[in-house]
Amino acid sequence: MMNEVSGRILIADDDSEIVKMLGCVVSRKGLTPVLAGGAREALYLIRTVRPDVLLVDFRMPEMDGMEVMRKAKEIDPDLPAILITAHADIQGAVEAIRAGAHDYLGKPFDHHDVIRVVLRALNERRLKLALKPLSKSLPKPLSKTAGGNVPLRDIFGPSDAIGEVIASIELVAKLNFSVIILGETGSGKEVVAQAIHRESMRPEGPFVAVDCGAIPEALIESELFGHERGAFTGADQQMAGKLETAREGTLFLDEIANMSMGAQAKFLRVLQERTLQRLGGGKSIGVDIRVLAAGNRNIEDLCARGSFRSDLYFRLNDFTIAIPPLRQRQEDIPFLAGQFLEITNVELGKNVQGFSAAAADAMLAYEWPGNVRQLRSVVRRAVLMSEDIVAEKHLCLKQSGADASVLNLEAGLTMSAGGDWEGQPLREVLRRSAACLERKVIVQALRGSGGNKAKAARLLHVDYKTIHTKVKEYGIGFEQIETGNETHD
């Protein structure tokens, strides 16, 4: 049985019998028909009643459906228009769709087709309206649409902990400071970076995001600085790098700790001189960018260990924003869960009303190792599984995230690769057992990331080099990742 729906459907036709008939069809579905006997009455009702969908006859004496649709879009740009056509007007209806109509209905009507087309238009309108505030606040790409007035509280949440983050964004956004954004995986570092860009003095410029952890070390310099044709094997054409692409805008470097030392040195030179040279080129290119960098580890500690350049860190660290993990700002959990529920409702065409008390308690008690990203995934899956309200069972929290990985590891763990450790020194038993456990963890991380080493590295909070080295060391191949066979080849 389909979920009950609601919405106002404006039906405009000079044939009163068709208007009444269509009104009965949509009302039986729980929709509210708004009836108009002609074009001018339809336009008046669009201004006063604000319908959700417009059904308009293609041929009317005062004004044809194309003109009504055009004027309706001036009143409400998001109003989907469906044209009612006779067989001879099909070509005209096709032209109308090219001009912006949502769909058309040919006479004689099939009642099921009427409902199908109307519901599709209604769901599309609701999705657009639901996502419009989000797209204004977090445009992708952040370029010509920046500058929306959505309060930051409506994006991040009401907690005092996130309030400090918002205060930091507002303090530094309009300055040309470089900013380091620290936070656990999934905590919203790129969302903060986008908010800084949107509130900055250069919101009309591009926002260019680079995931340093997802780019192999051999390609990171080409990705950042660009290259000339023939600069290396496979460089069959000139390519501008991310630094050039971000000129007069913002460059966001996610997981910057994964950048190689060589790339760090060249990047520091660019920041100091405000010019760059593409790989294989000799021409200096001016660069005017604001840099935001992010990481899930303390970069200062990496500097102390010699794995990150201190001079680059000091150059980037004009200002630091630390995002608290979701488990430390519980007030934001119901707020964010409600937002994700509403967006998913529109996306799936459902009408899930909210969360049961037990579900709400379970979300508040959960640790959320994957932070906001995990919460969004859990809510989306729960809305898909539920009918009217999200129950605790729909959340599947005990089987998600880090908990499931630990349970699976405990269930399948053997003491060593061979299992024969009798008579071995304790130190050797522990070494072999630790290696076995480490291999299992890496295999599971690779399986969960689809074999992507960079994603697996981020999941385990290690750098790309570590994963790459361990995969070679343990002889982990594609077959083990696909089948779950974790024994050595």
Does residue 81 lie in a domain region? yes
Q: What is the pLDDT of residue 410?
A: 39
CA distances from 164 to 299, 329, 338 (A): 21, 11, 22
Residue 405 predicted with pLDDT over 70: no
Q: What is the CATH number of the domain that holds 392?
A: 1.10.8.60
Domain boundary among 368, 398, 428: 398
Residues 167 and 251 in one domain: yes
Q: Dihedral through CA 18, CA 19, CA 21, CA 23, nearest 10?
A: 160
Instruction: Look at 64-73, 111-120, 310-319, 416-425 and tell me which has the smallest mean pLDDT.
Output: 416-425
Same domain, 120 and 165: no
Q: Does residue 137 register a pLDDT over 50?
A: no
Answer yes or no: is 86 within a domain: yes
Residue 130's pLDDT is what? 60
489 part of a folded domain: no
Q: Assign residue 277 a region: left if phi > 0, alpha if psi is -120 to 50, beta otherwise?
A: beta
Least confident stretch, 53-67, 278-292, 411-425: 411-425
Task: Please compute the mean of the pLDDT values over residues 173-189 and round it to a whole number.
Answer: 93
Residues 316 and 216 in one domain: yes
HSE value, Cβ hemisphere, 13 Å, CA-based, for 301: 5
One-letter amino acid at 239 equals M
Asked if residue 313 is part of any domain, the answer here is yes
Does 153 have pLDDT greater than 50? yes
Q: Are 385 and 476 in a shared domain?
A: no
Strand partners, 275: 286
Last residue of a domain, one of 275, 300, 324: 324
CA atoms 292, 295, 301, 303: torsion sign? negative
Same-domain check for residues 377 and 419? no
Quick: pLDDT tens for 305-331: 898 999 999 999 999 999 999 999 988
Distance from C-alpha of 257 to C-alpha of 452, rounded to nearest angstrom: 18
Average pLDDT over residues 350-367: 88
Q: Residue 399 half-sphere exposure, CB side, CA atoms within 13 Å? A: 6
Q: Are 312 and 199 in contact (CB under 8 A)?
A: no
Q: Where are the beta strands (DSSP E) in 296-413?
A: 319-322
Based on the number of CB atoms within 10 Å of its own CB, is 321 exposed (0-12), middle (13-18) or buried (19 or more)? buried
Q: How many helices (H) and strands (E) does the chain have?
A: 22, 14
Amino acid at 350: K
**One domain for residues 212 and 240:** yes
Convert 326-337 to b/e letters by CB count within 10 Å (16 or more is b). Answer: beebeebbbbbb
CB count, 10 Å around CB of 473? Answer: 12
Check which CATH number belongs to the domain holding 478 and give it.
1.10.10
Q: Which of 324, 355, 390 delimits the end of a domain?
A: 324
pLDDT over threshold 50, residue 88: no
Q: What is the pLDDT of residue 429?
A: 66
Half-sphere exposure of 219 (CA within 13 A, CB side): 13
DSSP annotation of 326 reads G
> Does residue 408 lie within any of the structural domains?
no
The pTM of the full predicted model, rounded to 2 decimals, is 0.54
What is residue 49's predicted lDDT score, i.e. its pLDDT? 82
Residues 298, 216 share a domain: yes
Tokens of 370: 């994957």
Q: Are residues 275 and 389 in the same domain?
A: no
Number of domains in the chain: 4
Asked if residue 85 lies in contact with residue 106, where contact means CB atoms within 8 angstroms, the answer is: yes
Rounded to whole angstroms, the Cα distance separating 443 from 22 reads 58
Neighbours of 434 (CB within 10 A): 11
Q: Which helix (H) or strand (E) holds 211?
A: strand 207-211
Q: Do 434 and 359 fall into the same domain?
A: no
pLDDT value of residue 197:
94
Is pLDDT at 53 greater than 90 in this prediction?
yes
Task: State the residue for tokens 């608290």.
Answer: 324
Structure tokens given for 348? 């799936």
Supply the mean pLDDT for the chain.
Answer: 80
Q: Report d(CA 464, CA 220) in Å as an integer.
A: 12
User: Of residues 402 and 378, which shows the higher confidence score?
Assistant: 378
Within this chain, do residues 339 and 281 fall inside the same structural domain, yes or no? no
Per-residue confidence (pLDDT) for residue 146, from 0 to 100: 35
**CATH number, position 167:** 3.40.50.300
**Each residue's pLDDT tens digit, 256-306:** 988 888 889 988 988 898 888 887 777 888 888 999 999 887 888 889 989
Distance CA 34, CA 27 (A): 10
Q: What integer pLDDT is reported at residue 411 of this predicted model?
A: 39
The answer to whether residue 383 is domain-embedded is yes
The region, left, alpha or beta by phi > 0 then psi within -120 to 50, assigned to residue 339 is: alpha
Inform me whether the pLDDT recorded for 33 exceeds 70: yes
* Residue 460 covered by a domain: yes
Looking at the fold, whether 310 and 286 belong to one and the same domain comes out as: yes
Which range is most confident: 110-114, 191-195, 244-248, 298-302? 191-195
Q: Give the CATH number of the domain where residue 127 resides.
A: 3.40.50.2300
The range of the structural domain enclosing residue 346 comes to: 331-398
Check residue 402 and give its pLDDT.
Answer: 41
Amino acid at 83: L
Q: Are residues 209 and 311 in the same domain?
A: yes
> Does position 372 have pLDDT exceeding 90, yes or no?
yes
Residue 42 belongs to some domain of the structure = yes
